[in-house]
Structure 1
């Protein structure tokens, strides 16, 4: 008679069910909470024109939408356009000509561009509609920016999958790191080609865009590999969970960092998914303006991953050395 298979105890099954429920709840919170709590707050905009007119509009905005905007007052249209192109503001209400007009940059954030149009029309009241000029529009092949927003997930998954496969299939920390770096380049070239040449979701220099994507993939993959080399499977899980459940929802690529729940958008910009997404917007639509902070964030994560891997290598080499010293202390008679 064949032996009866061992059955798992019911308490263990109950614990697994509770763990899965908790995990599903965390995933739901991570992705749904930022989306459902998104709102317009502290959005940087400019108001351009004569002092009396700008003061009146600024007062109206503060009264009707308190806390919604971080307003910079400038004296003319050219100054407002410069702030938009430098990515210091998302748009401007221009009063220079005596008749208000709205200047937006939908490529910076379609969601904020829509919100600004609603605010401008409300300021116009029952008068003629406020004219809108899109200074940096999205590509005609993707006027809603759907491709770039959807590209956030493959960018994060690329780094996570790379780290997981390299850990499973490649022996040697140095070879894993080299494989991750190589994949960051080839994966970025492929992903950017799809976004730019097939979907038409990004513009600008293909090579700069690919560099931004490569830096994002490398930051994710190398950080996870560094954690895995130091902590083992727990490090792999910690890194993947951080990038997927925290970094991706807080990246702001689908809307804007300022539209996420207060403070969390800033946190997201210090994680690889958010920094990479903002860097890609800068290279694709704004000639690289405001790219430097995001580059430094990503380089910092790359450096962290390499440092963790180096620490793990030092720890590994130190343990055999300590073992050899212990063996040297064994008396000859005892050894015999």
Structure 2
């Protein structure tokens, strides 16, 4: 009789607990990403409603004042209604992006003036508001767009997707610079961050210009803002990594995806969002990038400086974080060297550090790919 093969040895239950715990711990990050992305995107985009949307009624007589007050009373807090004295003043207000639309009453041909390059969704919201007003007079509403987007980007949302591309290239590089570059001094990692941001900005400018033709003028300015924006993200990530380690990916997702894309104004202006995302729009770096590009490309650079300064401020935060992280790492090296073992025990440290860094960057890149 042939002998039965011996059963394969099975690992004891306690030996499996360590790997299982390791897997479950790593699953926390993607699950938190799922929850955070759902809360952020659905909270920001699912139910857009006007909130203090700035519009104007053109004219100077009592009839204009009555119409403006009537519109305000009917809309409540949804609209911020004002009057301007002339059509030219309304066009200037639209090109400075201080209003989202202007209604010029007329018995024969009432006119609605918009600038959809500032926000296609805001222009549609204003059109929806004033179409019934003209219908009450039994006349069609004439719509004039004084700042339309380019034909290659008919909705004007291409700049938002450019923001997405530059953001992903920036924060995904943080995993490599933070983990694989851990053996380098912070000064070297910061220099690499600036270099990587330069490459990312060139890619962004190429996509915006010769590839998809989203930008027909001012491409160098778009490239400059992309570099400022990307460098700020990379330096913040490199500066956070020594403190957060493997949780850096989640932190970058929160800062530069969940809160960033939703408050950028690329799809909905803050007047169409709830107060939380609307308030972030005032100082978040994605909003500075998108609004800066819009202003630079479509509105002659009017009011560009505040958006550029927003990007500079985030870059300064990144530089400060990398400086602090570098000082902390230097102090740690001094402390470690003071309590070191004999010199020959250090010969294997670079290899061990390198293998640990490789494992760490693989884990972080896997988590970033899940995005």
Q: Under TM normalisation by the shorter chain, which class is it?
A: 0.7 to 0.9
Report if the CA contact (8 A) 2:68-2:82 is conserved.
Answer: no
Report if the CA contact (8 A) 2:186-2:325 is conserved.
Answer: no
Distance 2:20 2:177 in 1: 36
Indicate the residue corresponding to 1:273 in structure 2.
286
After superposition, what is the alpha-carbon deviation per residue over 1:183-209, rounded to whole angstroms, capped at 9, x for unaligned?
223322221222233323233311111
- C-alpha change, 1:269 and 1:203, in structure 2 (3 Å) is farther
Report if the CA contact (8 A) 1:31-1:245 is conserved.
Answer: yes
What is the correspondence of 1:96-111 to structure 2 with a 5 Å cutoff?
A: 99-111=109-121
Q: Which runs of 5+ in 2 are unaligned?
A: 1-5, 341-371
- 1:33 deviates by 1.7
- What TM-score does the superposition give when structure 2 sets the normalisation length? 0.79
**1:7 pairs with 2:16:** yes
**1:80 pairs with 2:90:** yes
- C-alpha change, 1:53 and 1:215, in structure 2 (3 Å) is farther
Indicate the residue corresponding to 1:286 in structure 2.
299
- What TM-score does the superposition give when structure 1 sets the normalisation length? 0.86
Indicate the residue corresponding to 2:224 in structure 1.
211
After superposition, what is the alpha-carbon deviation per residue over 1:13-33, rounded to whole angstroms, capped at 9, x for unaligned?
888778765542222112122
**1:166 pairs with 2:186:** no
- C-alpha change, 1:220 and 1:128, in structure 2 (3 Å) is same
Distance 2:197 2:27 in 1: 37
- 1:9 deviates by 7.9
Count matched residues.
327
Q: Which runs of 5+ in 1 are unaligned?
A: 328-336
Report if the CA contact (8 A) 2:36-2:254 is conserved.
Answer: no
- C-alpha change, 1:121 and 1:24, in structure 2 (3 Å) is same
- 1:211 deviates by 1.4
**1:125 pairs with 2:135:** yes
Q: Select the structure with the greater relative contact order (CA < 8 A; seq sep ≥ 6).
A: 2
- C-alpha change, 1:158 and 1:104, in structure 2 (3 Å) is same
- C-alpha change, 1:196 and 1:91, in structure 2 (3 Å) is farther
- Judge which range, 110-119 or 52-61, deviates more: 52-61
Root-mean-square deviation over aligned CA pairs: 2.9
- Judge which range, 293-302 or 191-200, deviates more: 191-200
